[in-house]
Amino acid sequence: MSAPATFVPSTFASLIAPGFFSSGAVRTALTIGVLVAIVAGVVGTFTVLRGQSFAGHAFGDLGSTGGSGAYLAGIGPLWGFVIAGIAAAAAMEAVGVQRARGRDLATGIVLGAGLGLAALFLYLGTTATSTTGATVTILFGSIFAIPSSTVPWVLLLALISLALIAILYRPLMLSSASPELAAARGVPVRLVGALFLVALALTVALTAITIGSILSTALLIGPAAAALRLTRSPRAALASAAAIGVGTVVLGIVLAYDSNTWPPAGHAWPVSFFIVTLVLIAYLASGVPAYLSRRRDSREGRDANAGSAGASTLGAGGETTGAISTVVR
């Protein structure tokens, strides 16, 4: 199989030539990383708006089911991720992910069953071939061990997800901001939701092979949540989510590359650690304006509720909620 079967630090030193930009592995990592960050930012914005972070994370974890299943079946891990993602999306839809109440429960049940299967696949896979570290590779992934032949496929998947979002843009935005209003205007809310779930599954399959199935959560949720705290305009939020994502990925790759020369020399730090930390910092920083305005509000002796209500509706974005938060302010 063509899967990268090694863990970052051990292969890092041998994979990377002295120059940062002359290294093929770094170029591939940068290409895929930027691409994935853009798609994750766009899809993530809707994910956060719709309150489906758990589903977004679950697809990443379920990717380990697909990855380990693909490993057993001898097909490429990317296809394992894609198949598992779409199957999981269908299962969640069947169990009842479309109703806001019980949505997390349905996600959890599907995730639990999927992880159980992953345990079985990994067990069968590791006893059959005794490849140590397969578990860790699938779960944590490695952006530096992507074969460059994967790039065209990643590009294709990225285009499919973006195209889905572009086609669905207006009904999706409306039904994310206010399902009732969307239904009243004749938007097929359930169909839109199901199609979005497929786009989400494809996107997470993408992020999962770049920074690992579990850590993909950060890139999907973090930049989007940060962007939605900074701006109320949907388009601006989409653009800034993608920009924040790209920034964290590029900086993370550079830092991981540099870390090879840090104190315990010759032993690089995992790139996913850097990316996730940067994403968390970006999210925390995005809360500063709201925090300052909350403090100003309470200092001016206004009703403290106005500040927090404004801050929480700010996160909801969209035309309708944007209007609401303007009224509240």
Partner 1 sequence: MFQGFMIDTWVVASIVGVIAGIVGFFVVLRGSSFVAHAIPNGAFAGAAGASLVGASTLLGLGVFAVLGALGIGTLGRHGRHDVVTGLVLAFMLGLGALFLSRTIEYAPAIYSLLFGEVLGISHADLVPTIVLALLCAIAIAVLYRPLMLSSVLGEVAAARGVRTFALDLAFLLLVALATTMTVPVVGALLIFSLMIGAPAAARALTSRITVAMALSVLFALISVWAAIALSYRTNYPIGFFVGTISAGCFLLGRLWSRIRGGVA
Residues that bind partner 1 (CB under 8 A): 7-9, 48, 51-54, 56-57, 61, 101-102, 104-105, 107-120, 122-123, 126, 132-136, 139-140, 212, 214-215, 217-218, 220-222, 225, 229, 267-270, 272-273, 275-277, 279-280, 283, 287, 290-291, 294, 308, 311-312, 315
What is the closest distance, in whole angstroms, from the C-beta atom of residue 55 to partner 1 in the complex? 9
d(CA 30, CA 275) in angstroms, rounded, equals 13
What is the closest distance, in whole angstroms, from the C-beta atom of residue 276 to partner 1 in the complex? 3
C-beta neighbour count of 288 within 10 angstroms: 11
d(CA 227, CA 46) in angstroms, rounded, equals 11
| Of residues 169 and 269, the one with the C-beta less far from partner 1 | 269
Angle subtended by helix axes 53-73 and 189-211, to nearest 10 = 60
What is the closest distance, in whole angstroms, from the C-beta atom of residue 310 to partner 1 in the complex? 11
| Of residues 136 and 243, the one with the C-beta less far from partner 1 | 136
What is the closest distance, in whole angstroms, from the C-beta atom of residue 216 to partner 1 in the complex? 8
Q: Where are the beta strands (DSSP E) in the chain?
A: none
Instruction: Say if CB 313 and CB 324 are below 8 A apart.
Output: yes
Instruction: Say if CB 253 and CB 260 are below 8 A apart.
Output: no
What is the closest distance, in whole angstroms, from the C-beta atom of residue 156 to partner 1 in the complex? 26
| Of residues 115 and 160, the one with the C-beta less far from partner 1 | 115
What is the closest distance, in whole angstroms, from the C-beta atom of residue 189 to partner 1 in the complex? 20
| Of residues 15 and 220, the one with the C-beta less far from partner 1 | 220
- The one-letter amino acid code at 192 reads V
What is the closest distance, in whole angstroms, from the C-beta atom of residue 286 to partner 1 in the complex? 9
Instruction: Say if CB 86 and CB 201 are below 8 A apart.
Output: yes
d(CA 201, CA 62) in angstroms, rounded, equals 10
C-beta neighbour count of 272 within 10 angstroms: 23
| Of residues 167 and 292, the one with the C-beta less far from partner 1 | 292
C-beta neighbour count of 154 within 10 angstroms: 21
| Of residues 185 and 295, the one with the C-beta less far from partner 1 | 295
d(CA 187, CA 62) in angstroms, rounded, equals 30
What is the closest distance, in whole angstroms, from the C-beta atom of residue 123 to partner 1 in the complex? 5
For residue 316, the 8-state DSSP code is T
| Of residues 93 and 104, the one with the C-beta less far from partner 1 | 104
| Of residues 57 and 187, the one with the C-beta less far from partner 1 | 57
Find all residues with CB under 8 Å of 61, minimum gap 6, and list them: 111, 114, 115, 118, 213, 214
